[in-house]
């Protein structure tokens, strides 16, 4: 059964001063968009697709791996059929040799939210790249510019000690940032230590300082730098009025799903996908795309296959699952620092329906006379 769209009833703007209010709250402005976050393998995609079968939804991916073309299996990218059933955005927009920053995401997502709302649909931002969410919700703090001499010194230390040792050093001065980074995430560890050495302030402190707009700033690979203490131009905050976070009550449930999904990726041809990427000849394990969880481990495993001591498939499986579990832990750490979120447990059998019903209530408040479709939007 369909209800007619109310002509001349524009979707109201979200109030940037009142994050987390509006949708289903009975007070405050209606939301401009809905955000759905959670750790990897928690069921976000399934919930989004279930919602799209009941509401006019367009999905905006909030995932730094899904932006890359040719990286389908290891990213658990939505299938062609799923993407045909409901519009998806910010997927397959970069070649793996290219970077895509949090600042670029924030600008793209803000534009897409406006365009989707103009079409009368609900913008649903779904993913697990928490820095992208933060960039959109809060803006990005600009930071000290890169210093070639400091970076060269840090590279030399890392060559002697290893990046895990540099990560341990970061944990001593900035435990908040270190908790969000993997011990081998060389580029982000280097940037965090660089910011601390140049400014005497930690990266987490810079991120916490969200002040007036600045005229110039740059953001590279998820870490900003530019005019000290100021937001980049155009980085005004754009918080959602409904921010749902699917988080497991039982961590073992999530670990089981992570293991099952990685095994399915291996069975689905993940190694062949990485072999094809390596065969291009213009990619390296230092690129942001190849540092994605799973791809890094597969690349390193394939490196051993031509040597004297090749690793067996069980080792790849163990390393891939362990790295994905570490990613999930870091994602949960990010989420717990975001108080505006509404937590819905991801592991109970009714979790998916709870997510869908919560967003349906938000949509009723957002556009109470909108046409409800039994399928995805056209």
DSSP letter string, 236-261: -----SEEEEEE-SSHHHHHHHHHHH
Q: Is the pLDDT of residue 25 over 50?
A: no
Token pair in block for residue 75:
């990213």
For 60-73, what is the mean pLDDT? 98
Cα 231 to Cα 209: distance, rounded to the nearest angstrom? 9
| Residues 6 or more apart whose Cβ sits within 8 Å of residue 312 | none
User: Bridge partners of 224?
Assistant: 219
Alpha helix positions (H), 174-282: 175-179, 186-199, 203-208, 251-267, 270-279
Distances in Å between the Cα of 322 and the Cα atoms of 26, 75, 295 are 43, 16, 13
Tens of pLDDT, residue by residue over 154-181, are 998 999 899 999 999 999 999 999 998 9
Would strands 217-220 and 223-226 be described as parallel, antiparallel, or unpaired? Answer: antiparallel
- Counting Cα atoms < 13 Å in the Cβ hemisphere of 316 gives 24
CA distance 21 to 161: 48
Whether residue 292 is predicted with pLDDT greater than 60 in this model: the reply is yes
CA torsion sign, 326 to 35 to 51 to 72? negative
More confident residue, 276 or 228: 276
Residue bearing the bigger pLDDT, 99 or 140: 99
pLDDT at 350 over 70: yes
Q: Regarding predicted confidence, which is higher, 25 or 250?
A: 250
What are φ and ψ of residue 80, in 5° steps? -55, -35
DSSP 152: H
Residue found by looking up tokens 């699952």 in the block? 321
Rounded-to-integer distance, Cα 125 and Cα 178, Å = 26
Q: Within the chain, where are the H helices?
A: 44-52, 80-85, 102-118, 130-138, 148-161, 163-173, 175-179, 186-199, 203-208, 251-267, 270-279, 295-304, 313-336, 351-366
* pLDDT at residue 300 tops 70: yes
Residue 174 is given by DSSP the state -
pLDDT at residue 21 in the model? 36
Residue 287: partners with Cβ closer than 8 Å, 6 or more residues away: 96, 97
CA atoms of 83 and 212, how far apart (whole Å): 39
**pLDDT for res 236:** 65
pLDDT bracket for residue 367 (50, 70, 90): low
Q: Six-digit token pair at 204?
A: 């987490």
Indicate if the pLDDT at residue 228 is higher than 70. Answer: no
Q: How confident is the model at residue 138 (pLDDT cuts 50, 70, 90)?
A: confident
Q: Which conformational region is residue 281 in: left (phi greater than 0), alpha (psi within -120 to 50 degrees), or beta?
A: left
CB of 54 within 8 A of CB of 356? yes
- Between 40-54, 115-129, 229-243, the lowest mean confidence (pLDDT) is in 229-243
Token pair 């969200």: residue: 210
pLDDT, position 378:
37
Give 23-37 as a DSSP string: TTTSSSPPPS-EEEE
> Phi, psi (5° rounding) for residue 344?
-125, 125
pLDDT band at 12 (very low <50, low <70, confident <90, very high): very low
**Cα pseudo-dihedral 325, 328, 333, 334, rounded to 10:** 150
CA distance 31 to 238: 11
pLDDT at 264: 97
Mean pLDDT of the chain: 83
Q: What is the pLDDT of residues 174-225, one digit of tens each?
A: 999 999 898 988 989 999 999 999 888 898 888 776 533 332 222 223 333 3
DSSP 30: P
């Amino acid at each position: 059964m369909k209800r007619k769209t109310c002509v001349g009833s524009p979707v109201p703007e979200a109030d940037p001063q009142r994050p987390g209010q509006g949708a289903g709250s009975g007070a405050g402005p209606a939301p401009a968009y809905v955000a759905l976050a959670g750790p990897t393998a928690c069921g976000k995609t399934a919930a989004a697709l279930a919602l799209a079968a009941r509401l006019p939804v367009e999905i905006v991916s909030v995932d730094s791996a899904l932006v890359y073309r040719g990286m389908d299996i290891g990213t658990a990218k939505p299938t062609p059929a799923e993407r045909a059933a409901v519009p998806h955005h910010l997927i397959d927009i970069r070649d793996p040799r290219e970077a895509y920053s949090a600042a670029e995401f924030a600008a793209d997502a803000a534009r897409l939210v406006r365009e989707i709302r103009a079409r009368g649909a609900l913008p649903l931002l779904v993913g697990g790249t928490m820095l992208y969410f933060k960039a959109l919700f809060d803006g990005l703090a600009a930071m000290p510019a890169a210093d070639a001499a400091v970076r060269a010194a840090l590279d030399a230390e890392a060559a002697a000690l290893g990046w895990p040792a540099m990560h341990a050093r970061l944990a001593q001065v900035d435990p908040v940032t270190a908790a969000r980074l993997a011990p081998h995430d060389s580029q982000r560890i280097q940037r965090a230590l660089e910011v601390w050495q140049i400014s005497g302030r930690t990266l987490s402190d810079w991120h916490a300082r969200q002040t007036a707009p600045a005229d110039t700033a740059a953001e590279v690979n998820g870490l900003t730098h530019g005019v000290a203490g100021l937001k980049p131009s155009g980085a005004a905050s754009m918080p959602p009025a409904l921010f749902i976070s699917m988080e497991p009550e039982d961590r073992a449930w999530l670990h089981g799903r992570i293991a099952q999904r990685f095994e399915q990726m291996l069975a689905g041809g993940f190694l062949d996908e990485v072999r094809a990427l390596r065969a291009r000849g213009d990619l390296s394990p230092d690129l942001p795309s190849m540092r994605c969880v799973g791809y890094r481990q597969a690349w390193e495993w394939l490196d051993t296959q031509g040597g004297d001591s090749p690793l067996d498939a069980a080792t790849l499986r163990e390393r891939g699952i362990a790295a994905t579990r570490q990613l999930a832990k870091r994602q949960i750490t990010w989420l717990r620092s975001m108080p505006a979120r509404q937590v819905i447990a991801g592991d109970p059998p009714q979790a998916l329906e709870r997510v869908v019903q919560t967003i349906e209530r938000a949509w009723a408040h957002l556009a109470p006379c909108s046409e409800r479709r039994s399928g995805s939007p056209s």
